[in-house]
Every structure is written in structure tokens, then in C-alpha cells.
Structure 1
Amino acid sequence: MNNFTEQRLVANCGTLLFRTDASAHEAFGFECMDGWADLIEGSLRLIQRCAELEESDVKITQVKEKFGLLRIYQSGGGENVCQILDICELTSGCLCELCGKAGKLIMLDGWMLTRCERHGDGHHTDQIELPSGDEHYISCYVRTVDSILSFFGADAVRWVQQECIGLGRKRPFEMLGTEEGCLAVDTLLKRLEYGVGA
């Protein structure tokens, strides 16, 4: 990950990444590409909120790509923290790990990767515009995933994996990679809350 992107994540979510007595030099490196930076930041914000509400000590121990998906490992925290991380992992399979645009899990030269159409052939990786932090998307993602957790509780991860008629037969996690998709999921949740058929 680009140093500037890492510095942004550390500045915004440092309490999860370091012990209170640790220096910035003790930070682990993010072992993934920049395309997932906004997704990581949104997930870390949610985890921070959970940790504060539960008054628990949650620390992120590793962030990396594994088998083409984003994996975030933590110590501490309850069921909600685990669900946030599971939803994040599922969503990462719909976002290009290089540029953050809509993508899918592919096999390239024997490696599992999540790439958009432009970067899916292994070419065009030399001129990637680094994501700069889309606050609108991050806030929308946080709000939507928080609503999913509140509405479905322990079944949240199961729900995001189910095909929804109200989302055009897409699974909710497939929508969470864009601001528009998050808004669509949020609208569906509001309809379900008020008993309006989807």
C-alpha cells in the first residue's frame, strides 16, 4: 500500500492499530493494494464505534490480501466486530484491489485477484490513479453496514449473502462497494423496517 494511504488510515484509525504505549514506528504494514483503502477505513470506523460502545479493547493485528480478498485480523471485540470484518471481506471481492472500481474475483497466472475490467488482464497497472479517500462513500458504507447489523443482528452476514428481489436479485454485499449501492441497500432496509414489500 502507498505510504500516503497508510498514513491516512493511521491518522484516522490509529487507536485500533497501536497499543496506547506504542510509537508510530511499531505499526504493521498494510499488505494489500490501495483500491481497498476506503473499504478498510469504513470498516475500521465501525469497529472503533463498536469498541467504544462495548467498552472493549479491540486491536487490528493484520490487514492483508489473501486468495484475492481483503482479510483484517483483530484481537478483542465481540460478535459485531467479527460480522463487520466478514462483510468487509465479502465486499472486497467486488472492488478492484488496485483502483477501487467495481471488480470481481478472477484467476490470473495462477493467482486469485479481485480486479476491474481494465486491470483484469494484468496490463495497465503502471498508471493507476490512487484513491484519495471518498468521504461520501466511507460515511455511507459505515451508515449502511451499521443499519444491517442493527436490523439483522446475528444474521447480518447471512442476510448480505442472500439474493434480494428488492436489489434486482443481487446480494447486498455486491452493492456495498459504491455509494449508490449502499444507498440502495439502506433504502431497502427502511422499506423492510416499515413493512413495505420489496
Structure 2
Amino acid sequence: MSETNQPADPPVRHIVFDIGKVLIHYDPNIPYSRLIPDESERNTFFDTVCTHEWNLEQDRGRGWDEAESLLIEQFPDKADLIRAFRLHWHEMVSHAYDDSVDIMLDLIQQGHDVTMLTNFAADTFKEAQDKFPFLKVPRGVTVSGEIGMIKPDREIYEVHAKSFDLEPAACLFIDDSEKNVEGAIAAGWQAVHFTGAEKLREDLTRLAAL
């Protein structure tokens, strides 16, 4: 189940955006296409060394020094490539999704209550805010790396709702990950799976939030 709009749902009063792949682009292949030109070799590197699961622990709050040391101990011949992940991180967030950002800013301008909930390392999120100032516009944000929790764990949704005084059933969560959408629904929120700005506009209109 990736989205809800049951008649029993209360009106949407809080809109909560994910960030990566909803408002800004994220792709580790951007710098690594240069660092590891061979696609097969690059895919193997991401599958076995700097994996999604490894990176997710930084989103949970693990420091980069510890993260790099753990991998370098296992793959000493890949030390420079491992360190390159953080060193070239800024290249991975190459651009904003202007159409999605416009939707978010329009919602705020119309007086809707907009916050953000993201899996993001604490230090790279600050860099992202500097690079993309619109990330400072919503009422607030819960950053996983700052609180030691990650989506789709139920606790992070509960912490976000409590931190910003949100009624869970009146929250509409927007995320590109179906697992995170399902996590929000399990926490009692309404949620939609983000696949593009056009569908998001349709979802918001259908839910009378736009």
C-alpha cells in the first residue's frame, strides 16, 4: 500500500516533505563515474564497499571518520575511493527539482503548514541547506542524523509529529521511497508515493491540500 485517501481520513492540515529525490537530486554515480569510469567496476564498488546500507548508518548519525575507518580496514586498497564519498558528496546533490520545489513554496505561500522529514547525515544536510536555500523556508525539519533515527522506523515519525505539534492522522507525507511511505502509514499518517511533480499536484488536489 503506497498511498491513502480513505473517506474516514481527516482533512490534511500538515504537509511533510522528504528531501532527497523529492526536492533535490541525489546520485553517487555523478562523481564516481569519473573516479571509476568502468560501469561494472563502479557497480561492484557500490554493491560491496560504499553500499547503501553503509551510507544509511551516516544518516542514522555515525560519523564519517568512523565510517571510513571501518571500510578502509576491510578494503585498504580502496582507501582513496572510500574517502572520496564524503569528499565529493557535494557533487552528488547536483540540482534541485524546481517543479517540486515550486509546489512546496506555493503551499507555504498559501498558508499551509509545511515541514520536512529526511534521512540525511547531519553535516551534509547543513551543506545542502547552504547550497539550496529553499530548504530553510519550511517551518522546520527533522534530520535523521541529528536524532539517531531513520525512516521507515516508526519512532522517527512519532518524534517529528511531537516536535512540531502535528496530529498524525492529519499529516500528509511525501516520499520517493515506498518503504518510507508505508512507515508513515503505519505511524498513523496519510502518505503519497512521490514519482514526479505532476502526480504530486494531482495527489494534493485529490486530498484537497492544494
With the length of structure 2 as denominator, give the TM-score of the two structures. 0.26
Report 1 or 2 for greater relative contact order, CA contacts < 8 Å, sequence distance ≥ 6.
Answer: 2
Query: Could you say which structure has the larger radius of gyration?
Result: 2
With the length of structure 1 as denominator, give the TM-score of the two structures. 0.27
